[in-house]
Amino acid sequence: MPRWSMVIDLDRCTGCQACVAACMAENNSPVTEPSDASMGRTIHWREVLYEMEGEYPRPKAQVVPLPCMQCENPFCARVCPVAATYKDDLAGGIVKVDYDRCIGCRFCVVACPYSRRYFNWRVPSYPDTLANALNPDVRVRPKGVVEKCVFCEHRLEKAVQKARAEGREVRDGDWTTACTQACPAGATIFGDMSDPRSHVYKLIHSARSFRLLEEVGTLPKVYYLKQGDIL
């Protein structure tokens, strides 16, 4: 059974935010009003955090892309009173959201140590130019539910259907996420962490690999490669 995982190489990431734009376009993220943005209510399933180090004239910027960690032990799922958030082991361990069950209590928002959950405060709205380009494969979430990255699960569904038509199981390389596909520097790598032949597996077991807040016990399936020699 595949276990879908993501590796982010901090040496390769340039902070261009192509992954953020691709994620928003692929998953029909709503446009946030300026008044909501000023209150921190933007909805970005994937963000890029910036931290400046050093002083002028030689400052150094550290950029850290931050998607949902897709934890093996997801705290958000443990606290959900209606099981709207759940880990789908049949889908390779992707942590999903059933928006028909979500009651908007926001327990998951508080429980997530990575702040990767977003409450939808308003009815989603889009400018005309974007409204005509919504992805028909992704549902527009209603007001009052909590959104999150789901590793572009609709792409996995298509890969599974194609594999079944070919009489086989879905395997590493059959699909990828929008953010991975859009990254011009190849900083994001996606694949099956349980397959020893996969690129992701090899990177996860490299000396540069680490996970965010690993000590809290969430067991995230998103790994990072610390700065060092570029592979």
85: helix, strand or coil: strand
One-letter amino acid of 147: E
5-25 confidence digits (pLDDT tens): 999 999 999 999 999 999 999
What is the DSSP code string of 159-196? HHHHHHHTTS---TTS---HHHHH-TT--EEEEETT-T
Q: What is the pLDDT of residue 79?
A: 97
pTM, two decimal places: 0.91
Task: Give pLDDT tens digits for 189-207.
Answer: 999 999 999 999 999 999 9
Mean pLDDT, residues 124-130: 86
| Per-residue confidence (pLDDT) for residue 227, from 0 to 100 | 82
Q: What is the pLDDT of residue 166?
A: 96
Residue 228 confidence (pLDDT) above 80: no
- Higher per-residue confidence, 231 vs 60: 60
Ranges of beta strands (E only) in 25-128 are 47-53, 60-66, 85-88, 94-97, 118-119
**Higher-confidence position of 76 and 31:** 76
How many whole angstroms separate alpha carbon 205 and alpha carbon 215?
Answer: 18
pLDDT digits (tens, 9 = 90+) for 55-91: 888 877 789 999 999 999 999 999 999 999 999 999 9
Q: What is the mean pLDDT of residues 220-227?
A: 95
Mean predicted confidence (pLDDT) in 142-170: 96
- Mean pLDDT for 138-142 is 95
The domains found in the chain, sorted by start residue, are 4-225 (3.30.70.20)
> Which pLDDT belongs to residue 32?
86
In which element (H, E) is residue 222 found?
strand 222-225
Residue 122 scores a pLDDT above 50 = yes
Of 36-40, 168-172, 183-187, 190-194, the least confident: 36-40
